[in-house]
């Protein structure tokens, strides 16, 4: 997969909904009902972060949920990429980007949202062919004001801001011409996941699905 092909696929995923839920899941038993709740609320693109021992099994379970597109987040190494692809991930997300990580995603045909936090990082990715990128950590790196300032000098790049994005500030990003969608964890808060309040998560997802429209 070329960087250009990866960006086309990543843009397609980003346009599925205004919000990509960023999920940290500890229990495999929560995987399918959580994915079903989010998809039912209108958020089909799901990012499962590789931050728990159960993450790869969670991806495998969610991959079987109808209507969902499950990706692996926090990809840091080529081994992470291979493991995520084997588990059933259809896209990847990384906090930053290294040549080795990009090589692995391209070799494994895994579309990647590579992370960038500065104009230089975004330009290096663009030079390689990545026109769709993750802006991370969004709030700490300057927020919507900073991202807006990149739209004129770097008009070819579209972003998915993640990191500190919430219901309160999501529309600040979604109103920008260089934002495709945002990533956030507020649609699946830990207390609702632990209690199995899937209806509550669907309500939050439904609310998020209407943002920017």
Give pLDDT, residue 213: 66
Give the residue numbers marked as catalytic: 47, 134
Structure tokens at 137: 């950590």
Give pLDDT, residue 212: 75
- What are the 10-residue block averages of pLDDT along the chain, 213 residues in total? 97 97 96 98 98 96 96 97 98 97 98 98 98 98 98 97 96 97 96 95 97 79
Q: Please state, in angstroms and rounded to a whole number, the distance separating the CA atoms of residues 51 and 211.
A: 28
Bridge partners of residue 116, in order along the sequence: 135
Per the omega criterion (within 30 degrees of 0), is the bond before 172 cis? no
Q: pTM to 2 decimals?
A: 0.96
């Amino acid at each position: 997969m070329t960087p250009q092909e990866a960006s086309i696929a990543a843009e397609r995923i980003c346009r599925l909904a205004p919000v990509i839920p960023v999920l940290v899941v500890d229990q495999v038993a929560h995987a399918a009902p959580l994915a079903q709740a989010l998809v039912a609320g209108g958020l089909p693109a799901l990012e499962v972060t590789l931050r728990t021992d159960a993450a790869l099994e969670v991806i495998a379970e969610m991959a079987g949920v109808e209507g969902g597109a499950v990706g692996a987040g926090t990809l840091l190494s080529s081994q992470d990429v291979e493991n995520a692809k084997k588990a059933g991930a259809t896209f990847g997300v990384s906090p930053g980007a290294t040549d080795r990580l990009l090589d692995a995603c391209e070799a494994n045909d895994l579309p990647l949202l590579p992370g960038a936090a500065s104009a230089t990082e975004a330009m290096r990715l663009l030079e390689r062919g990545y026109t769709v990128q993750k802006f991370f950590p969004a709030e700490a790196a300057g927020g919507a004001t900073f991202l807006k300032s990149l739209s004129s000098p770097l008009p070819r790049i579209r972003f998915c801001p993640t990191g500190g994005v919430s219901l309160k500030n999501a529309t600040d990003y979604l109103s920008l011409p260089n934002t495709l969608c945002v990533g956030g964890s507020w649609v699946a808060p830990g207390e609702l996941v632990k209690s199995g309040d899937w209806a509550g998560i669907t309500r939050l997802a439904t609310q998020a699905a209407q943002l920017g429209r």
